[in-house]
Chains A and B, each alone.
Chain A
C-alpha cells in the first residue's frame, strides 16, 4: 500500500467505488431476472475491487461498506431458492468457481450464512470450513476485512448457538472455538500491518492500525454476549486463549488495546474470579506498553464493583484481591525499568483508591500501599517531576478524604515517610491539606502520641526545613501560621495529665519556629494552657502524676518560658498582654507570688520595651484594669504595684492621656465587693491630680493652638466625681461637685463649647438622680445647679 498522496488515494477510491457501482448495476439486473449465473459473475467482478492494495484502512473501509450493502441484497437472493432454483448445498459448491480467492471467499461466506441458517448441515462444520479457508488471504487489510465480514454475518447464528435455548455445552464450545480462531487470525494480521510495506513512518502506521482496532475487538464483544459463555468456560477456555495470543503477539498496540478490551468487555465478576490469571499477563507484555494505565483502569472498575453490594465484598476477601493486585503492581514496576516515577506512583494511587473503597477498615493494607510507595521513592533521587508530585499529594490526600477522622491517617506508619519525599514547597501544601481536613471535620486530637505524629507531619510549617530557601509570600506565610494557631485549639484531652503532655509537646515543636513564627503560635498555646489552669481549679486537690505532676504552678512555669521567648522576638506588646492574662489566672488560683512575678515582667516590658506613646496608653489601661480586679495581693505588694502604675500614668507623654490614666487609677483605690479596698482619700487625690493635669492641658492648648480642646476632660472628671459621690465616698462632697460644674460653665462661656452635649447629658443625669427620690434623690438634692 503505497500512499503517495491523499489526492491519489481519493482518486483510487473514486475509481473503486465507480467499479462497484458499475458491477452492481448489472448485478441488480441479473437478480431481477433471476439469472444466477450472471449474478455470480457480476458480484465476483464487483468484489474484485476489494483486491486493491492502494488504499489506507479508512478508505478501504468505505469501499468495503459499498460492497457489503450489495452483498446483503445478494444474500437475500441466495436465500430464496425459488428464485434461482439451486439448493444451498449446490450454491455453496458453485461459488467456489470464482476466479480470484478474495471474491470467492466473500461469496462463500455469504452463501455460508444462508447455509447455516437453513440448518441443512451442522453449523460447526460450516463455520470451521469458512474460518479455515480465510487463511488463504494473508494480506493484512484485506484479510482483516474479510474475516470481519465473516464475523459479522455469522454473529446472529453464533449468539443463537451459544444461548441456552438452542445450545448444549458442546455447541457453545463450537461457537467459542470459531470466534477464538477468527480472533487469533485477525490479531495476527493486524500485528503484521506493523511490519508491512517499505518506507513507512511508524506513527502513521500506528494511526492506521488504530482505526482498525475495533474489528479485532469485536470478537471479544461477541464472546461476552454469548449467554452460554459462563464463568467456567471463560476461565478454562476463553481467557487463557485470548491471553496467550495477546502475550505471544509481542506487539505494543495490540497488547495495550486487547488487555483494555478484555477488562472493559467482560463482567467484573469474571475478572475477580480470574484475577490471578489475568494479572499474570501484565508483566509479560512488552516493556514499552503503557500497561499501568490498563492496570489502573482494572482497579477502578473493581473498586466500583465492590461498592455495588456487600456480598461482593466478601468475594474480594476470598480471592485475596488486594494481595494479588499488590503483587502484580510490583512485578510490572520491576519489569518496566524505564517507567518514570510518576507511573509507579499513579499505580499506587489507583491501588490506594481501590483499598480505601474495598477494604476501608484494613488500615494495614493502606499502610502497606504507602510502604510500597516509600520503597520505590527511596530508590530514586529526589522528586523533581511536577506531575509525580501531584500524584503523591493525591496519594496522601486520599486517606484524609476517606476517613473523616483525620486521626486515623495519623496512625499509618508510612504516612510521614511518604511526606519526607516531597519537596519543601509541596510538603507545606500537604501540611495545610492535613490541617484543613482536621478543621473541616472538627476532629479533636486527644493523645500526646498523636499530637507528636501530627506535628512531625506538619514540620514544614512549624520550622524552616533544611535547604529551605524560603522566599515565601507574606500573605501565604500568615495564612500558614494562622492555620497552625487554629490547629492548636483542636488538641484537647479532658485529663489534665495528658493535656499538659500535649501542651509540652506542642511547645517543644513550636519553639523551634523562630522569631517569625512565635507571635502567631505562642498566643494560641498560652490560652490553651490557661484553659487547662482553669479546668484544674475546678478540680479538688492535687493530682498525683508520674513524672510531670500537673499543677497550676507547673503550667505557670511553662507559660513564663513561652512568653519570655515571645518577648525576645521582640514582641513586647503581645507579651505584656499575655503576662497580664497569666497574672489574672494566677489570681484565680490564689498564687500571690506567681501573680506578682508576672506583674513584675509586665512592668519590665513596659519600662524597657514599649516606647511608642500610643502603645503605652493602651498598655497602661490594660495594667490598671487588670490590677483593679486583683484580690490576691497583700497590702504591701498591692501598694507597690499601684504606686508604679500611678507613676507611669502621670508620666505618659500627652497631657490628655495622663489625665485619663490618672483618673482611671482612682479605681485602684475603690473596689466594689466585700473585701474591696475603699480608700476615699486616695481616690480624691487621684481626681484632684487629674484636675491639675486637665488645667495644665487647658492652658497649653490655649497658648499653643488657640483652642479649647481638653474641655471634655473636665466633664469626664466631673462624671468621676459623680461616680464616687454615688458610691458613698465621703471625701467627695456636693460642694466640690458644684464647684467643678461652675468651673466648667465658666470655661465654656469663654470658648465655643464642643462638649455641650456631654455636659448637658451629665447635668441631665444629675436631674434624673434628684428626681428618683429616696436615698439617692436626697443625696443629689444637695447639688445645686
Chain B
C-alpha cells in the first residue's frame, strides 16, 4: 500500500493566505510516501511545508511559481515488479497551463500518451476531476486552498490521496464544502494493457 498525495494550485500568498485549517490538521507527516504537486505553490514556504510532510516531493512548474527551476513535466514509477504481473504504476505530472485548450480531456490524453504514463496528474483549472480514457487516468486534484480561478466561479478547496496497491489504485478526493470535509472515492484497476474503472 503506497499513499500518494496529489495537491496543487495553492497560490499562496497571491490568492490565498494558507491551507484551510481542517486540511492542515489532516495532513500529518510520516503517513504519506510520495507527494505530487501540480504547481503554483507559489513560494518556498509552501515547498518547505510539503517537505516536512514527506521528503519524496515531486513538483512541476506552474506559471506563478517563484522557483523557476521546477521542471515542466515529470514522471515517476511506483511499485515493484512482482512475479508474473506488472505491479507498477507510472505517474506523470504537468501543471496544465501548457496544454491548450485548458482542461480539455483529449488534449490531456495526448500528453498522457506522450509521457507514456498510466496516471496523469494535472492542475491549472482548480476543478477536481478524475476520469479514465483509453490511454489511462487523468486526475486533477483541484486547488488545495480554493483559490480564485478564471475557469470556474465555484472553487472548493480540494486535494487527492491515491492508495496504490499492486494493480489497483483507489483515488480519495477530499473537498471542503461549506466548512465540512467531504470524502469521495473512485477505484481504478490496471490491466495488462490498459486501465479500466470500477
Footprint of B on A, CB under 8 Å? 439, 442, 478, 482, 485-487, 489-490, 520, 523-524, 527, 530-531, 534, 574, 577, 581, 584-585, 588, 618, 621-622, 624-626, 628-629, 664, 667, 671, 712, 715-716, 719-720, 723, 726, 757-758, 761-762, 764-765, 768-769
B150:A584 contact, CB within 8 angstroms: yes
Distance between Cα atoms of A621 and B16 in the complex (Å): 25
Q: Give which listed residue, B13, B97, B113, B135, contacts A625 with CB less than 8 A.
A: B97
Q: How far is the CB of B152 from the nearest CB of chain A, in Å?
A: 11
**Most chain B beta-carbon neighbours within 10 Å: one of A485, A761, A768:** A761
Q: Which of B29-37, B99-107, B157-165, B173-181 contacts A (4 or more CB under 8 A)?
A: B99-107
The answer to whether A761 and B116 touch across the interface, beta carbons within 8 angstroms, is yes
A482 partner, pick from B13, B100, B109, beta carbons under 8 A? B13
Whether B13 and A524, one on each chain, are in contact in the complex, defined by CB atoms closer than 8 angstroms, is: yes
Contact A489 B17 (CB under 8 A): yes
Contact assessment for A719 and B113 in the assembled complex, using a CB-CB cutoff below 8 Å: yes
**Across the interface, do A758 and B107 meet the contact criterion of CB distance under 8 Å?**
no
Q: Can you name 23 A-B residue pairings with CB atoms under 8 Å?
A: A439-B18, A485-B14, A489-B16, A520-B13, A523-B64, A530-B148, A534-B148, A574-B64, A577-B64, A585-B150, A588-B150, A621-B98, A621-B100, A625-B97, A664-B100, A667-B100, A667-B101, A757-B116, A758-B114, A758-B116, A761-B135, A764-B134, A768-B134
Contact of B107 among A439, A588, A618, A723 (CB under 8 A): A723
Contact A628:B101 (CB < 8 A) given known A622-B63, A726-B106, A765-B113: yes
- Does chain A have a CB within 8 A of B110? yes
| Assembly CA distance A482 to B41 (angstroms) | 13
On whether the beta carbons of B100 and A534 are closer than 8 Å, the reply is: no
B binding-site residues for A, Cβ under 8 Å: 11-18, 21, 43, 45, 63-64, 97-98, 100-102, 106-107, 109-110, 113-114, 116, 134-135, 148, 150, 153
- Nearest Cβ in chain B — how far from A510, in angstroms? 13
Contact A715 B114 (CB under 8 A): yes
Q: CB < 8 Å: which of A523, A664, A716 contacts B14?
A: A523
Chain A: interface secondary structure?
helix
How close is A439's CB to chain B, nearest CB, in angstroms?
6
Beyond known contacts A527-B11, A712-B114, A726-B106: 10 more, CB 8 A cutoff: A486-B18, A489-B16, A524-B15, A577-B63, A577-B64, A626-B150, A628-B102, A720-B110, A723-B107, A757-B116
**A617, closest chain B residue (CB):** B98
A628 contacts B100, CB within 8 Å? Answer: yes
From residue B90, how far is it (CB to closest CB) to chain A in Å? 11
Q: Which residues does chain A contribute within 8 Å of B15, judged by CB atoms?
A: 489, 524, 527
A168 vs B91: C-alpha distance when bound (angstroms): 92
How far is A715 from B113 in the complex, measured between Cα atoms in Å?
A: 10
Interface centre among B12, B110, B116 (most CB of A within 10 A): B110
Which residues of chain B have C-beta atoms less than 8 A from A715's C-beta?
114
B interface secondary structure, majority:
loop
Chain B residues near A758 (CB, 8 Å)?
113-114, 116
Distance A530 CA – B148 CA, assembled complex (angstroms)? 8
User: Given A534-B153, A621-B97, are A482 and B43 also a contact pair (CB < 8 Å)?
Assistant: yes
Q: Which residues of B contact A442 (CB under 8 A)?
A: 21
Q: Could you tell me the distance in whole angstroms from the C-beta of A8 to the nearest C-beta in chain B?
A: 66
The chain B residue sitting closest to A538, CB to CB, is B153
Distance, CA A626 to CA B97, complexed state (A): 10
Complex Cα distance, B107 from A348, in Å, reads 67
Asked if A486 and B17 sit within 8 Å, CB to CB, the answer is yes
In the complex, A523 Cα to B147 Cα: how many Å?
A: 13
Q: Please state if A485 and B150 are interface contacts (CB–CB under 8 Å).
A: no
A574 and B121 CA atoms in complex are apart in Å by 25
Contacts of A628 on B, CB cut-off 8 Å? 100-102
Tell me the nearest residue of chain B to A489, going by C-beta.
Answer: B17
Q: What's the minimum C-beta distance from A60 to chain B, rounded to whole angstroms?
A: 63
With the chains together, A765 CA to B193 CA distance in Å? 12
Q: Smallest distance from the beta carbon of A673 to chain B beta carbons, Å?
A: 11
Q: Which residues of B contact A482 (CB under 8 A)?
A: 13, 43, 45
Whether B114 pairs with A716 at a CB distance below 8 angstroms is yes
Question: What is the bound-complex CA distance between A720 and B43, given in angstroms?
Answer: 35
Chain B residue nearest in CB terms to A628: B101
Which residues on the A side are within 8 Å of B110 (C-beta)?
716, 719-720, 723
A629 touches B18 (CB 8 A): no
Contacts of B153 in A (CB 8 A): 534
Per the bound structure, the CA–CA distance linking A768 and B110 in Å amounts to 14
5 residue pairs, one from A and one from B, having the closest CB atoms: A485-B13, A486-B17, A584-B150, A523-B14, A761-B113
A-chain residues with CB within 8 Å of residue B148 when the two chains form the complex: 527, 530-531, 534
CB nearest to A618 among chain B residues = B63
Q: Chain A residues with Cβ under 8 A from B14's Cβ?
A: 485, 523-524, 527
| Nearest-CB residue, chain B, relative to A490 | B17
**B138 smallest CB distance to A (angstroms):** 14
B15, closest chain A residue (CB): A527
Residues in chain B near residue A577, CB distance under 8 A: 63-64
Smallest CB gap from A475: residue in B = B44
Say how far A368's CB is from chain B's closest CB, in angstroms: 34
Contact (Cβ within 8 A) B135 A486: no
The residues of A that contact B16 with a CB separation of less than 8 Å are 489
Report yes or no: A624 in contact with B13, Cβ–Cβ below 8 A.
no
Contacts of B100 in A (CB 8 A): 621, 624-625, 628, 664, 667
Q: How far is the CA of A520 from the CA of B42 in the complex (A)?
A: 11
Closest to A530 in B: B148
Q: Closest Cβ of chain A: how far from B101's Cβ, in Å?
A: 5
User: Chain B contacts of A439 at CB under 8 A?
Assistant: 17-18
A762 to B153, CA, bound (A): 35
